[in-house]
Amino acid sequence: MDMQTAILLISCPDQKGITAKISNFIYQNNGNIEHADQHIDNQTNTFFMRIEWSLKGFRIPKEEITSEFSKLAIKFKMKYQLSFSSEIQRAAIFVSQHTHCLYDLLLRREEGQLRCNFPLIISNHSDAKKIADNFKIKFCQFKVKKGNKQETEKKIIELLKKEKIDLIILARYQQILSKNFVNLFTNRIINIHHSFLPAFVGENPYGQAYRRGVKIIGATSHYVTQELDAGPIIEQDTARISHRDSLDDLKMKGCDLEKIVLGRAVRLHLDRKILVYNNKTVIFD
């Protein structure tokens, strides 16, 4: 578990020999495969793979793996992403007034479920400040008003760069990010939406669910794209409700869903188990 590993996430047009060539690349350089999972999408004839191998005794130095592997990658027209278990990602949490997801992420990290650092919490409200202080995390409040959105986002982006943020987690953040902002962090902004998407897009999904009289509520974590609540879905879960549940009950029962679904999505992302294509996700779990 402690040993360092390399992880490749690969997608390319399917053809014979891909698995053989990749596993040979690792074997001939004295690597031991710890996990390998592949998937073929028959509709688009696309090959997907996640392969993780131990770096103990691996003959290629970490910094040269990319250049060595790229020969293979070019031949098979692969898109790939190489990462190392030793790299601890830095995630910023964005939050508004509901702090249950924020709290949950911080506790999951303390319990060892999330391999990342949380150096920064950003909010348009002050509610989360106490929690940030408690966990000794830098807290920055940006009041978003009519007319200052562009300017505010600029300041936030500078801050994210300064803190070398790899991942942004919208843990019930009530502001909509601009297209420009989203483009800077493609597939690196995870949102939790408190409904079973695509049902109840947009504002107040619990209110929408209550009015429609559904018997099950849900939560959805997804990567943020330019279209609201329409990005690639990472994880979803649902819970049973009844006519006895008031709108407040829905919100309360939903909290547990939101925490679990966001926690799972962040963990999958940090463990490099998500591959995005065609606005969908392949989850190597």
Question: Which residues contribute to the site for a copy of itself (CB under 8 A)?
Answer: 14-21, 23-24, 26-28, 30-43, 100, 103, 107, 111, 113, 134, 196-200, 212-216, 218, 232-238, 240, 242-244, 246, 252, 255-256, 260, 263, 278-283, 285
Q: Which of 229, 237, 249, 285 is catalytic?
A: 229
- Minimum separation from the CB atom of position 156 to a copy of itself (A): 27
Which CB sits closer to a copy of itself, 156 or 282? Answer: 282
The CB-based long-range contact list for 122-126 (8 Å cut-off, 24+ gap) reads 122/92, 122/93, 122/94, 122/95, 122/156, 122/159, 123/94, 123/95, 123/96, 123/173, 124/96, 124/173, 124/174, 124/175, 125/96, 125/97
Which CB sits closer to a copy of itself, 168 or 265? Answer: 265
Find out whether 30 and 59 touch, Cβ atoms under 8 Å.
Answer: yes
- Minimum separation from the CB atom of position 245 to a copy of itself (A): 10
Sole residue written with tokens 């031949």: 75
- Minimum separation from the CB atom of position 147 to a copy of itself (A): 34
Element (H, E) at 56: none
- Minimum separation from the CB atom of position 214 to a copy of itself (A): 6
Which CB sits closer to a copy of itself, 150 or 246? Answer: 246
Which CB sits closer to a copy of itself, 163 or 256? Answer: 256
- Cβ neighbour number for residue 239 with a 10 Å cutoff: 15
Residue 229 known to be catalytic: yes
CA atoms within 13 A on the CB side of 71: 6
List residues with catalytic annotation.
229
